[in-house]
């Protein structure tokens, strides 16, 4: 069931502006649905994620980990992927967003929705969402943002996302030690859009430098998101240059890192799926 929020936001013109909203409810909930609708003037609707420059979701009762989602620049295009990772079941994960998680395209022009994990556990403090966005590509375009509260199961996770500039080097990404790493996603991208599958951009991926978790045949990790999100249905993620350590992950506390050896000058997305320690 989804309950509509009384709060909403609106962005207009072709220049981005920032606004914050505090979502108030008299009940606890597990997730938030964000719905975007665009009204265009004399033009076609832009891709909805192209209108958003940044989005931050703060859930104060989680203390030092209150920033559950923080995306800006290219990494905004990771929003639909975070929706799918954050939903608990494969059926819910597949339908957790209307936007293609691999290329950020809309299924319907001018409309989009995103179901995100929140797992609200206290009524004393309200969730704050800050968005920097524009109305569209035309001065008279308007994008409305509406919110709903979900009571369906979501994974109790938050995300740390990294957009790594292009280089042909070995890159080491550390994840914060104040949470527990539950999974890692690595993908190459061009201007924010995850690249098509190839066998040459990355030579090796290693978790914590451990021999048993070092993969020089990285295609062994190519089916990771398919397993978690679609139950292994072919073609959804395996067609793109994305690798995941998600299923039966050896979660443990403390600082952890992933090392990525790039053989080509490719930009990287690195996503840490975290749980509270």
Both tokens of residue 263? 């053989």
* Confidence check: pLDDT of 162 > 70: yes
Is the domain spanning 2-150 CATH 3.40.1350? The answer is no
pLDDT above 90 (res 248): no
Q: How high is the pLDDT of residue 271?
A: 98
Model pLDDT for residues 50-86, shown as the tens digit of each residue? 999 999 999 999 999 999 999 999 999 999 999 999 9
102-160 pLDDT, tens digit per residue, is 889 999 999 999 999 999 999 999 999 999 999 998 888 999 999 999 999 999 999 99
Tell which wins on pLDDT, 255 or 43: 255
What distance in Å separates the CA atoms of residue 19 and residue 6, rounded to the nearest whole number? 16
pLDDT at 231: 76
* Averaged confidence pLDDT in the chain: 92
Predicted confidence at residue 215, as pLDDT, reads 96
51-55's contacts with Cβ under 8 Å and 24+ in sequence apart are: 51/11, 51/133, 51/134, 51/135, 51/136, 51/143, 52/76, 52/79, 52/131, 52/132, 52/133, 53/16, 53/132, 53/133, 53/134, 54/18, 54/130, 54/131, 54/132, 55/79, 55/129, 55/130, 55/131, 55/132
Which 3 state secondary structure label does DSSP give 212? helix
pLDDT tens digits along 16-32 = 999 999 999 999 999 99
Q: Check if the beta carbon of residue 222 is closer than 8 Å to that of residue 242.
A: yes
Return the pLDDT at 29. Answer: 96
Q: Model-level pTM?
A: 0.94
Domains 2-150 and 158-276 alike in fold: yes
Please, which residues have CB within 8 angstroms of residue 48's CB and are 6 or more apart in sequence?
36, 38, 99, 106, 110, 111, 112, 143
What gap in Å lies between CA 155 and CA 162, rounded to an integer?
A: 21
Per-residue confidence (pLDDT) for residue 1, from 0 to 100: 80
Which pLDDT band, with edges at 50, 70 and 90, does 42 fall under? low
Q: What is the pLDDT of residues 189-246, one digit of tens each?
A: 999 999 999 989 999 999 999 999 999 999 999 988 888 888 766 657 888 999 999 8
Percent of all residues in the chain with a pLDDT value above 70, rounded to a whole number = 97
Domain limits, the chain: 2-150, 158-276
d(CA 6, CA 147) in angstroms, rounded, equals: 8
Class of domain 158-276: mainly beta
Percent of the chain, pLDDT > 90? 76
């Amino acid at each position: 069931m989804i309950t509509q929020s009384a709060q909403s936001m609106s962005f207009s013109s072709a220049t981005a502006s920032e606004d914050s909203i505090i979502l108030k409810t008299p009940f606890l909930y597990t997730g938030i649905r964000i719905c975007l609708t665009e009204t265009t003037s004399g033009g076609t609707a832009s891709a909805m994620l192209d209108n958003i420059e940044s989005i931050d979701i703060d859930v104060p009762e989680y203390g030092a980990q209150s920033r559950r989602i923080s995306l800006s620049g290219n990494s905004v295009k990771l929003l639909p992927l975070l929706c799918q990772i954050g939903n608990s079941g494969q059926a819910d994960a597949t339908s957790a967003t209307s936007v293609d998680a691999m290329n950020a395209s809309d299924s319907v022009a001018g409309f989009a929705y995103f179901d995100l994990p929140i797992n609200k556990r206290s009524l004393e403090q309200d969730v704050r969402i800050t968005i920097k966005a524009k109305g569209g590509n035309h001065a008279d375009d308007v994008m409305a943002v509406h919110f709903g509260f979900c009571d369906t199961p979501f994974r109790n996770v938050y995300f740390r996302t990294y957009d790594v500039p292009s280089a042909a080097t070995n890159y080491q990404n550390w994840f914060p030690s104040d949470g527990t790493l539950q999974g890692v996603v690595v993908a190459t991208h061009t201007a924010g859009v995850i690249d098509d599958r190839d066998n040459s951009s990355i030579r090796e991926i290693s978790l914590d430098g451990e021999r048993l978790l070092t993969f020089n045949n990285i295609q062994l990790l190519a089916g990771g998101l398919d397993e978690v999100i679609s139950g292994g249905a072919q073609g959804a993620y395996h067609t793109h240059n994305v690798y995941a350590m998600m299923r039966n992950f050896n979660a443990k506390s403390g600082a952890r890192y992933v090392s990525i050896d790039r053989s080509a000058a490719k930009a990287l997305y690195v996503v840490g799926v975290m749980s509270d320690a």
